[in-house]
Amino acid sequence: MNESTLILTLFAAIGLGTPLVFGTVGEIITERAGNLNLGVQGMMLVGAVAGFWATFNTENLLLGVIVAMLAGAALSVVHAFASVTLRVSQIVSGLALTIFGTGLSSFLGETGSEPLVGEPSKATFEPILEGGLADIPILGPLVFGHDIMVYVSWITVAAASFYVFRTRMGLSLRAVGEDPASAESAGVNVARVRYIHIMIGGAFAGLGGAYYSLALVPTWQNEPIGQAGWICIALVILASWRPSRALFAAYLFGAAERIQFTLQTLGEPWSNVPSNLLAMLPFILAIVAMLALTSGKRARFLGAPAALGLPYFREQR
């Protein structure tokens, strides 16, 4: 592998990892409140179609991003209502969100007399610097060569990290995820904290979805995100519920996704590796990571919120 192939691979890994960063950070924030939302795939897809639609009609990328975040958050409210207010199974509720969101996304893309499907986006995210700093060998493209959303994702990671570990709200958030009864005794409104952070998770999932339809695959097609939403749920564990680690975990998976193309460019014998087997790589990586990180006693040191997945019954305190 020569130097430029390596740089291209790393550069692409950052691009492909960026939606995963948004989705994973969002899900980390949701899970930190003790709520597991398996609806990421559905929320990302709804964000992808909503963002694409808004930009398609206004040619405005910022509006696309905002609409995508609102759409993701709106869908997440359904899960919040079912799992926090009605206290039914978070797992089934999240899956329902994914199935509904997947259907809704494809439906909205195909319906109407002039459907979105097959239409190229009216605006896409482009690298913000041409030449200059981006021309510095190696570091130039990797640090300065991206579109604005990559930098937004870096800021998001830093801000989420600060929020979770350094602010009062973040403290309440973690308290709710660890021990909701004690948090409630200390005056925290558990239900409200969960609602807010489920919606934040939904908004970031929507944003991640829009990065596909407005940057990575900027022509509308059904399910343009592949299995990104599911990957994000695995990445939360790999990142051990820390936003900063989500960045590196996401880029690792971005690289795993990219490796197919890289091997193609390397020629024989690398290009002979069957692409269907390479497509398994991110999923195998996720399982290996799960086995390595969460087997037996190791799981305890990973830092999963203690109340993750459990409904909270105030009456039974």
Partner 1 sequence: MTTRRIIVEPRGLASLGLTLAVPAASVLLALIVGAIFLALTGNSPGEVYVKMVDTAFGSQRGLSETLISATPLILTGVAAAVAFKMLVWNIGAEGQFIMGAVFAAGVGIALGSGTPALIAIPVVILAGAVGGAFWASVSAVPKVYLGVNEIITTLMLNFIALNFMYYLIFGSSSPWRDPEVSQFPSGRPIPDSGRIPEILDSQRLDYGFFIAVAFAILAWFLISKTKWGFEVRVVGDSSDTARYAGIAVPRKFLGVFLMSGAFAGLAGSLYVAGPVGALDPRSLDLGLGFTGIIVAALARLNPVAVVPVGILMGALNNAGPSLQSIRVPAATVEMLQGAILIFAVAGEFFIANRLRRPEKKPQPVAAAEGGEA
Q: Residue numbers of the site for partner 1 (CB under 8 A)? A: 38, 42, 78, 81-82, 86-89, 91-93, 95-113, 115, 222, 227, 230, 233-234, 237, 274-277, 279-280, 283-284, 286-287, 290-291, 294-296, 299, 315
- Whose Cβ is closer to partner 1: residue 76's or residue 161's? 76
The alpha carbon torsion through 219, 46, 152, 118 (nearest 10 deg) reads: 0
Q: Which H helix or E strand runs over 196?
A: helix 190-211
Helices 168-178, 190-211: inter-axial angle, 10-degree rounding: 100
Q: How far is the CB of 297 from partner 1 (least distance, A)?
A: 9
**What are the C-alpha distances in Å from 154 to residues 143, 159, 170, 234, 291?**
11, 9, 19, 20, 28
- Whose Cβ is closer to partner 1: residue 48's or residue 215's? 48
Q: First and final CA of the chain: distance in angstroms? A: 60
Q: How far is the CB of 194 from partner 1 (least distance, A)?
A: 16
- Whose Cβ is closer to partner 1: residue 215's or residue 225's? 225
- Whose Cβ is closer to partner 1: residue 142's or residue 302's? 302
- Whose Cβ is closer to partner 1: residue 2's or residue 276's? 276
Amino acid at 178: E
Give the SS3 label for residue 19: helix
Q: How far is the CB of 285 from partner 1 (least distance, A)?
A: 9
Amino acid at 22: F
Q: How far is the CB of 102 from partner 1 (least distance, A)?
A: 6
Contact 261, 12 (CB under 8 A): yes
Give bridge partners of residue 219 from the DSSP assignment.
120
Q: How far is the CB of 224 from partner 1 (least distance, A)?
A: 14
Q: How far is the CB of 159 from partner 1 (least distance, A)?
A: 27
Q: How far is the CB of 137 from partner 1 (least distance, A)?
A: 37
Report the candidate in 20, 1, 31 with the shortest Cα–Cα distance to residue 282: 20
Contact 77, 84 (CB under 8 A): no
- Whose Cβ is closer to partner 1: residue 97's or residue 210's? 97
Q: How far is the CB of 103 from partner 1 (least distance, A)?
A: 3
Contact 48, 104 (CB under 8 A): no
The span from the CA of 285 to the CA of 293, in Å, is 12
Q: How far is the CB of 97 from partner 1 (least distance, A)?
A: 7
Give bridge partners of residue 120 from the DSSP assignment.
219
The alpha carbon torsion through 154, 156, 158, 161 (nearest 10 deg) reads: -140
63's tokens = 């509006």
- Whose Cβ is closer to partner 1: residue 5's or residue 185's? 185
- Whose Cβ is closer to partner 1: residue 158's or residue 277's? 277
- Whose Cβ is closer to partner 1: residue 141's or residue 180's? 180
Report the candidate in 93, 316, 109, 302 with the shortest Cα–Cα distance to residue 202: 93
